[in-house]
Amino acid sequence: MKLFIGIVLCMILGGGIAINELRSTSKSVDFMEWNGPWRVNPTMDLKNNKQRALIALVGLFALRESEVLYYTATVDSNGDKLSSEHNYKLVGSVPEARYWSYTIYGTDDFLIPNPDKTYGFNSSTIAYEPIDSLNPEMSHLKAGTYELYISKNRQEKNWLPSGDNDQLSITLRMYNPAPEVYKNLTSIPLPEIIRI
């Protein structure tokens, strides 16, 4: 019986160490490509043990890259860690994809509980910025521009509650992206994440 308990404890300890190691190195994995604060895995190689383990840890039920691209940010546009200690504004425009969404996750890589049950926005739920039709040359906004707010405190629109998390991550899912997106993973325009 002691041997069985010892084996179980070793498995739990070993699994915990492996998960911690994977989480701590996931920001610098060599198969990811960067586009500003966003990183993307251009090809899901399930024969690569490190990729498979990372997908199992943070990308449960992930689809193949031919169906969807997952851009994830754990830092803001200045390279500082995303944390609920700060407020952020994500400024972007409609991505070149059939459907897209943003979802926010906490330190444990799960959705952040909140009373409004707001965990993300997508192409049909986000509120777009108004365009000044009387003075279009004066407006810095173009059709399909939006601002998303990440904060502990309620915001007027497009608010993703950040709860109380030391580390946040935001995932942009682009379903059926345009061919140009695949060709320019590191240079397509993606939203800035600005600490406010």
Do 44 and 3 share a domain, yes or no? no
The DSSP code sequence of 44-85 is --TTSHHHHHHHHHH-TTPPPTTTEEEEEESB-TTSPBP-TT
Do 170 and 184 share a domain, yes or no? yes
Do 8 and 104 share a domain, yes or no? no
Do 16 and 76 share a domain, yes or no? no
pLDDT digits over 133-144, tens only? 655 554 444 568
Structural domain boundaries, residue 81: 31-195
Do 191 and 94 share a domain, yes or no? yes
3-class secondary structure, 38: strand
CA distance 170 to 11: 31
Give the CATH number for residue 155: 2.60.120.600
Do 19 and 62 share a domain, yes or no? no
Residues 6+ apart with CB under 8 A from 28: none
Do 83 and 7 share a domain, yes or no? no
Do 9 and 39 share a domain, yes or no? no
**Count: domains in the chain:** 2
Identify the H or E element spanning 171.
strand 169-177
The one-letter amino acid code at 97 reads A
For residue 19, what pLDDT is reported?
A: 45
Identify the H or E element spanning 4.
helix 2-25
For residue 18, what pLDDT is reported?
A: 44
Do 12 and 109 share a domain, yes or no? no
The one-letter amino acid code at 188 reads I
Do 44 and 19 share a domain, yes or no? no
Do 55 and 149 share a domain, yes or no? yes
pLDDT digits over 104-162, tens only? 999 999 999 999 999 999 999 999 988 666 555 544 445 688 999 999 999 999 999 99
Do 106 and 119 share a domain, yes or no? yes
**Tokens of residue 48, six digits:** 């690569």
